[in-house]
């Protein structure tokens, strides 16, 4: 759902872009790294008050959150979506900003909770009437909102927020999870359009929709849902999807007959969706080196600069143009190589768009919660 036209246009340039990841000498694994165990701590940590950088939140809310509580996707015609509202709510809890959290939740509830269930319409367009033209949901947005409400209820002791979180979490577990598959409990990207009966190559999943730190916390409000099983299926799929020369997962993965393949109708790329996978893995503190190493190789080969990768050839399509994207490879190399995060990624940028600014802020929270040693020096 993220900037697909831009990716399609970039594929026209593929013949003149850099060599495949597998051939990059700068992507070599440092001596001893491949066998060294990662220092991971998979405890489900609370989010409330975790952001220790007030300037990051002040910049974020002044640039991307309206007085009504709508999060603006400044790189995508100023639309709003369930993902953005969820990210904004999470950041508000992490920054201990209850007034802004309430604004965000109020707008989200009034404008996206319009389907007749406890899932959210995924997109709201300014200047359109109706502003919601597609009533389908997006499971990552649903998870982010449910997680934010869970963290807010836990941090601020608000029972009404806990009830709201539970309703959403239960609908996710009952409507969006396929419990019997070759890979375990599959999380579908939406209620409509991705199941086996909806597509010739279905079911189709988006591995960046497995918001691992959320899955570790939603048992607080809906313990009857097998969140651990869903998390495990995501980890299993990450290994199974390492099928190209780069071993990176694509944004969209088809699972017909159980074998991961590029989904029909989507660019076969590691791009704007999949860049979130190493962020969520690192934030949750889960997995094995095998899960992280493809992302670490991607980070090393451009010395921390984030690139979009064509998975058929293993070649770079383009470099992300805004520095916030680089926070994800920096976080990855903190986990795998114990590298210190560059100083310029530890603060906010006054000019970058909503999505890279969000990735930067989330990566910083993950670092402050789990890997503070990478913020020293």
Q: What is the DSSP string of 93-155?
A: HHTT-HHHHHHHHHHHHHHT--SSSSS-BSEE-TT-SSS-----B-HHHHHHHHHHHHHHHHH
Q: Record the tokens describing residue 144, joined without a space.
A: 């982010």
Catalytic residues: 83, 140
The CA-atom distances, in angstroms, between 4 and each of 1, 8, 11, 120, 266 are 7, 6, 11, 22, 8
Helices (H) and strands (E) in the chain, counts: 12, 10
CA-closest candidate to residue 356, choices 322, 331, 329, 328? 322
CA distances from 306 to 285, 293, 316, 329, 359 (A): 21, 15, 10, 7, 12
Cross-strand partners of 81: 123
CA 255, 256, 261: angle at the middle one, nearest 5? 50
Sign of CA dihedral 120, 123, 126, 132: negative
Write the DSSP symbol of residue 261. Answer: E
Residue 298, classified by CB atoms within 10 Å of its CB into exposed (0-12), middle (13-18) or buried (19+), is buried
């Amino acid at each position: 759902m993220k900037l697909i036209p831009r990716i399609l246009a970039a594929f026209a340039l593929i013949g003149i872009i850099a060599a495949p990841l597998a051939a990059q000498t700068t992507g070599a694994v440092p001596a001893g790294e491949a066998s060294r165990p990662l220092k991971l701590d998979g405890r489900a940590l609370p989010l409330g008050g975790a952001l220790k950088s007030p300037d990051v939140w002040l910049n974020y809310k002044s640039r991307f959150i309206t007085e009504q509580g709508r999060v603006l996707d400044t790189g995508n015609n100023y639309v709003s979506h369930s993902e953005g509202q969820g990210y904004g709510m999470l950041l508000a809890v992490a920054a201990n900003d209850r007034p802004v959290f309430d604004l965000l939740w109020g707008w989200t509830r009034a404008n996206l909770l319009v389907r007749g269930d406890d899932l959210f319409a995924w997109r709201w367009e300014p200047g359109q009437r109706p502003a919601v033209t597609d009533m389908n949901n997006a499971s990552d947005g649903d998870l982010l909102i449910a997680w934010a409400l869970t963290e807010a209820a836990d941090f601020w002791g608000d029972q009404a927020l806990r009830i709201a979180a539970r309703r959403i979490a239960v609908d996710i577990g009952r409507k969006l999870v396929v419990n019997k598959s070759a890979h375990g409990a599959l999380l579908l990207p939406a209620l409509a359009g991705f199941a086996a009966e909806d597509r010739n190559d279905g079911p189709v999943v988006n591995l960046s929709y497995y918001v691992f730190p959320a899955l570790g916390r939603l048992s607080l409000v809906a313990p009857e849902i097998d969140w651990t099983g869903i998390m495990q299926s995501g980890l299993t799929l990450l290994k199974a999807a390492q099928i190209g020369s780069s071993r990176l997962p694509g944004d969209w993965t088809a699972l017909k007959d159980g074998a991961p393949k590029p989904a029909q109708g989507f660019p076969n790329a590691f791009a704007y969706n999949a860049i979130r996978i190493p962020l969520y893995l690192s934030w949750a503190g889960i997995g094995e080196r095998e899960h992280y190493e493809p992302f670490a190789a991607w980070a090393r080969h451009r010395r921390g600069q984030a690139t979009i990768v064509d998975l058929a050839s293993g070649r770079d399509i383009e470099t992300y143009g805004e520095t916030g994207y680089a926070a994800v490879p920096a976080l990855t190399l903190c986990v795998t190589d114990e590298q210190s995060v560059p100083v310029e990624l530890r603060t906010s940028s006054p000019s970058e768009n909503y999505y890279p600014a969000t990735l930067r802020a989330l990566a910083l929270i993950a670092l402050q919660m789990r890997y503070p040693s990478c913020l020293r020096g």
